[in-house]
């Protein structure tokens, strides 16, 4: 059978064959993907594909050094963050790279008039027939079908480029990756796992929100004016339910008082908050915030705070993130980055495009993992793609994650380098480490150690450990989860979270161990090395380890769809840590200092500024997982925030 041009337009992915002449393989999939099988369809070689070439940026090999120069407390340049102009000038691809790649394209009849080059010079995009692209990249495209969803994509096993320009090309899309984003929330106690987007999207790479539903209960009534706060907000009850007052008592930080800093929360449509829930929460548990207060909305690629679809699967994540972020930092400004329309949804790259114009292609050139805007689908966002539209806030919290095994290496590296650039500009990024212990999203484990390309076992089955991304990027602060020991006072030592969820943690299979973490990880392996086979996890001691820090992630009392709801997860921990960093920024900026920016080097150099967690495990993949120990460990990191100690530490820095 033949596939029509119109049908092919909906299949975004590629394929490859062996190189010939002076061509060299550029990217190759790591083995067959058991979820995707070749389909017996003859492609129409006249069908069009949007080809995007990511050019190798300059000085990325110096990125870590640059970031340490402004983030290491021992550096004379600590806090002297870069401007966007400095970022562009330092990392833009060389003129030689742009010229060499354009010359290659021209030699195959792809003339300048067909090319779209991003303002930063980082991307070259053009439309090509399948037949033309096959010749250009010495490749052969095939249609693949997903075993479960029956969705089809054009995909490849490898692709090639001329050897002499290989060093100028980061990667080309669409190529070896399968599928686009499917936005789902984790399986909860009361809800079956399901797609949360109406008319679900066309893929299986899962960007997952990490909030987990717990029991419902009544919220306390608003306290009388000048009267005592209701019992539920009292630290006496914090082992049963966490409130903003519990967190303040737990980590020693005050109610916000200034409005000089900024805090951003990222949500992916159709996840959305309800203003009625916000008002109920303010009235009951966050009386420092006036009823009716709303976050500042930055709508990215048609992002809308939708109210059509309601329920925990749609409102739980956003209600949690925003209720606690606002309660903890008010009157500081909280910005909601709402990403993606109701048809396509969105991914991290759509968000990053919107806050850094040098990152995006201006022409929809992200991987096919990322939805492309403008969206031609019925009801989709038809406006211009957001490229550098918004200024990033000083702190950004993200409660969503992929499995590291879901994504191509080049895709992760490209995105990780963007987090490095944000750190250079003084932005702190905190992310959730995961809710399934050493297992990944959906409680899935790897078929083999270091698996990639979607080689994951069924949910709940044993296998090799499966770390999450983007937390494994060394330029992000990954946040694990703790809990108050049931029956204990708020002043007692916490333990790793074991109520409903287990703190995500482990060792990357892609990113090298950063220098700031070397001593802590070396000590861990020397004194507490797990007795697991190397077939279960990356035991080399030479890769990025997560989490960096942790915070309470159990029994958060929220208002969801008009009722009290307990919520669990590192989705709660990350916004809490982000809020504490924002409060520190508030004091530094008030004293005429810079925002703290990338905090990991300072934290690892000063572990006593955190509360060490020494009890608990993070089971998964048929094992007990890792154990909490003295010092850094792969389930609670360096420990939980000690606000007075952290404030003293950061205020002493220039």
pLDDT, tens only, 285-306: 999 999 999 999 999 988 989 9
**What's the pLDDT at 382?**
52
**What's the pLDDT at 376?**
55
Each residue of 320-358: pLDDT tens digit?
A: 999 999 999 999 999 999 998 887 777 788 888 888 766
**What's the pLDDT at 316?**
95
- Catalytic-role residue among 72, 317, 353, 435: 317
- Catalytic-role residue among 321, 353, 418, 435: 321
Which tokens is 153 given? 């994509």
Is 72 a known ligand-binding residue? no
Active site residue 148: no
486: number of Cβ within 10 Å: 12
Instruction: Write down the residue that tokens 């980061």 correspond to.
Output: 170
The tally of CA atoms less than 13 A away on the side-chain side of residue 576 is 35
Tell me the DSSP string of 98-128: HHHHHHHHHHTT--GGG-EE-TTS-EEEEEE
- DSSP-derived letter for residue 270 is T
Tell me the DSSP string of 21-58: TTEEEEEE-SS--TTEEE---EE-TT-EEEEEEEEPPT
The tally of CA atoms less than 13 A away on the side-chain side of residue 228 is 6
Q: Mark the ranges of the chain whose per-residue pLDDT is less than 70.
A: 1-21, 31-35, 148-149, 178-208, 216-218, 220-235, 357-358, 360-386, 388, 453-454
Active site residue 65: no
Question: Which of these, 211, 460, 432, lies nearest to 311 by C-alpha position?
Answer: 211
Question: Which of these, 536, 509, 534, 517, lies nearest to 619 by C-alpha position?
Answer: 536
Residues 6+ apart with CB under 8 A from 342: 197, 198, 269, 270, 302, 304, 306, 308, 379
Identify the sign of the CA torsion 282, 283, 287, 289: positive
**What's the pLDDT at 59?**
96
Distance CA 637, CA 646 (A): 16
**What's the pLDDT at 255?**
95
C-beta separation of 55 from 168 below 8 A: yes
- Catalytic-role residue among 13, 432, 550, 571: 571
Distance CA 367, CA 143 (A): 18
Distance CA 174, CA 257 (A): 49
**What's the pLDDT at 612?**
99
Is 366 a known ligand-binding residue? no
Distance CA 366, CA 380 (A): 18
Is 6 a known ligand-binding residue? no
Q: What are phi and psi of 172, to 5 degrees?
A: -125, 140
Within the chain, how many helices (H) and strands (E) appear?
14, 30
The tally of CA atoms less than 13 A away on the side-chain side of residue 37 is 8
Active site residue 321: yes
Distance CA 471, CA 476 (A): 6
**What's the pLDDT at 211?**
75
The tally of CA atoms less than 13 A away on the side-chain side of residue 524 is 27
What global pTM score does this model have? 0.85
Instruction: Write down the residue that tokens 């002499």 correspond to.
Output: 164
Which tokens is 300 given? 């990215």
Structural domains of the chain, with CATH: 2-57+92-178 (no CATH), 183-634+642-651 (3.40.50.200)
Distance CA 33, CA 455 (A): 6
Residues 6+ apart with CB under 8 A from 586: 256, 257, 258, 260, 261, 329, 332
């Amino acid at each position: 059978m033949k596939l029509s041009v119109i049908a092919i337009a909906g299949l975004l992915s590629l394929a490859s064959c062996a190189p010939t002449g002076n061509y060299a393989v550029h990217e190759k999939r790591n083995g067959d993907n058991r979820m995707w099988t070749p389909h017996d369809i003859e492609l129409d070689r006249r069908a069009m594909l949007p080809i995007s070439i990511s050019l190798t940026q300059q000085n990325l090999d110096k990125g870590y050094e640059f970031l340490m120069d402004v983030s290491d407390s021992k550096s004379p340049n600590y806090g002297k963050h870069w401007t966007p102009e400095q970022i562009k000038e330092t990392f833009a691809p060389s003129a030689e790279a742009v010229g060499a790649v354009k010359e290659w394209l021209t030699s195959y009849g792809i003339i300048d008039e067909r090319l779209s080059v991003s303002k930063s010079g980082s991307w070259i995009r053009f439309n090509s027939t399948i037949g033309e692209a096959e010749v250009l990249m010495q490749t052969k495209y095939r249609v693949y079908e997903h075993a479960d969803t029956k969705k089809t994509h054009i995909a490849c096993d490898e692709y090639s480029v001329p050897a002499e320009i290989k060093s100028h090309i980061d990667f080309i899309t669409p190529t070896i990756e399968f599928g686009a984003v499917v936005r789902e929330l984790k399986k909860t106690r009361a809800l079956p796992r399901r797609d949360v987007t109406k008319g679900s999207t066309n893929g299986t790479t899962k960007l997952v929100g990490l909030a987990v539903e717990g029991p419902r209960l009544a919220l306390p009534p608003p306290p009388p004016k000048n009267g005592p706060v209701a019992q539920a907000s009292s630290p006496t009850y914090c082992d049963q339910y966490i409130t903003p007052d519990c967190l303040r008592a737990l980590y020693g930080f005050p109610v916000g008082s200034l409005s000089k800093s900024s805090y951003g929360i990222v949500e992916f449509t159709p996840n959305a908050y309800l203003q009625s829930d916000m008002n109920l929460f303010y009235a009951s548990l966050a009386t420092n915030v006036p009823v009716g207060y709303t976050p500042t909305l930055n709508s990215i690629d048609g992002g809308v705070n939708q109210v059509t679809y309601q329920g925990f699967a749609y409102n739980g994540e956003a209600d949690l993130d925003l209720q606690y972020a606002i309660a903890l930092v008010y009157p500081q400004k909280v910005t909601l980055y709402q990403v993606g329309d109701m048809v396509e949804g969105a991914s991290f790259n759509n968000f990053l495009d919107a806050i850094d114009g040098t990152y995006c292609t201006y022409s929809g050139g992200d991987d096919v993992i990322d939805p492309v805007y403008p969206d031609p689908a019925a009801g989709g966002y038809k406006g211009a793609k957001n490229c550098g539209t918004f200024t990033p806030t000083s702190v950004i919290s993200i409660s969503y994650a992929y499995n590291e095994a879901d994504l191509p290496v080049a895709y992760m590296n490209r995105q990780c380098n963007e987090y490095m650039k944000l750190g250079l500009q003084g932005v702190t990024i905190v992310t959730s480490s995961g809710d399934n212990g050493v297992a990944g999203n959906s409680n899935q484990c790897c078929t083999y150690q270091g698996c990639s390309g979607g080689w994951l076992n069924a949910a709940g089955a044993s296998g090799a450990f499966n770390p999450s991304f983007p937390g494994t990027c060394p330029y992000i602060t990954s946040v694990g989860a703790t809990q108050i020991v049931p029956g204990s006072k708020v002043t007692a030592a916490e333990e790793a979270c074991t109520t409903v969820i287990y703190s995500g943690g482990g060792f990357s299979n892609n990113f090298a161990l950063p220098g700031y973490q070397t001593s802590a990880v070396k000590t861990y392996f020397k004194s507490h090395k797990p007795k697991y086979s190397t077939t279960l996890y990356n035991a080399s001691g030479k890769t990025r380890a997560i989490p960096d820090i942790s915070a309470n992630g159990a029994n958060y009392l929220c208002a969801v769809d008009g009722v009290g709801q307990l919520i669990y997860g590192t989705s709660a921990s990350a916004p809490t840590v982000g809020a504490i960093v924002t409060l520190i920024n508030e004091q530094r900026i008030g004293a005429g200092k810079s925002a703290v920016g990338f905090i990991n080097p300072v934290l690892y150099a000063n572990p006593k500024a955190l509360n060490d967690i020494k009890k608990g495990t993070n089971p998964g993949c048929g094992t007990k997982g890792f154990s909490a120990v003295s010092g850094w460990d792969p389930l609670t990191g360096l420990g939980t925030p000690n606000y007075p100690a952290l404030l003293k530490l950061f205020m002493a820095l220039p």
